[in-house]
Amino acid sequence: MNLYKLSFVVLIAATIVSCKKSGSTSDVTIAAKTMLDVSYGTNALQKMDIYLPAGRSTTSTKVMVMIHGGGWTSGDKADFAAFVDTMKTRLPDYAIFNINYRLAGGGTNLFPTQENDVKAAMEFINGNASTYLISNKWVLVGASAGAHLAMLQAYKYSSPVKPKAVASFFGPSDMTEMYNNPVGGNPILAAGILTVIGGTPAMLPALYSSSSPVNFINGSSSATILLHGGADPLVRPAQSTTVQAKLTLATVINQYVFYPTGGHGDWDGATYKDAFNKVQAFFIANNP
């Protein structure tokens, strides 16, 4: 082969190799993606909003599941819009799944419907891990009733994925105490518990027990940060400090953040900024 032909062959080979490299998936940046109202069940409320970051992969992309509050009878994932926005900014390497669940009311969707929906949502997300390009490094975030459901999922179940950490914003943890000792002795609060469970602790002791996250804490429980206001009119701070005490006894990493004048979610901007700073740091430390 003469020099001209050899040079031509080398040039063609180099061009082919170059084309293969430039077209390889390793060099293609995966774009961020948002999917709204994705169904994880057949009920209209069994939906979630999904926010997938750019450049995600099954080895590096962490997962955050968000669960709204509303006393298990109201509320919507849209209530967590501010939480989603701040977490996307603070922890941009996370895929965020903001879920809805069936709400109790009129004698329907009583406990453990909401618990079952959260587990179903978790199973759906995990079942699509290869499609969403997410890892098995999960955290849960919940507020009020959503925090109760987040802690219940994290402490009670080890599948489909055991969360590395949980953030509870003023979440109930002991349903018997919630009924027997409502804040200020307010009978309306006790009646609200009766509405979602369908009976008193004396009538349904097993259901009250199985619906209480505090009863499932052990040495393998998820690291937990608990945030609570001292002026909360709906959930006593003791609902968080009881969790803290049991986690500490079980030698599980935990942090309790107390805002003396804070109410039930109606915190001012400075308080929320401090809360999110602490949650961000806690997740970075406990879901590396």
Q: What is the pLDDT of residues 203-250, one digit of tens each?
A: 999 999 999 999 999 999 999 999 999 999 999 999 999 999 999 999
Residue type, 134: I
d(CA 217, CA 5): 74
Query: Residue 70 region, left (φ>0) first, then alpha (ψ -120 to 50), else beta?
Result: left
How far is Cα 77 from Cα 100, in angstroms, rounded to an integer? 5
Measured distance CA(13)–CA(19) in Å, rounded? 10
Note the pLDDT tens digit of each residue in 59-107. Answer: 999 999 999 999 999 999 999 999 999 999 999 999 999 999 999 999 9
> Could you give the percent of the chain with pLDDT greater than 70?
90
Cα distances from 49 to residues 60, 80, 107, in angstroms, run: 21, 11, 28
What's the rounded mean pLDDT across residues 184-194?
A: 96
Closest CA relative to residue 98, chosen from 166, 146, 29: 146
Separation of alpha carbons 184 and 114, rounded Å: 27
pTM of the model: 0.90
The pLDDT of 32-58, averaged and rounded, is: 98
Pick the more confident residue, 10 or 260: 260
**In the numeric block, which tokens belong to residue 153?**
């999922």
- Residues present in the chain in total: 288
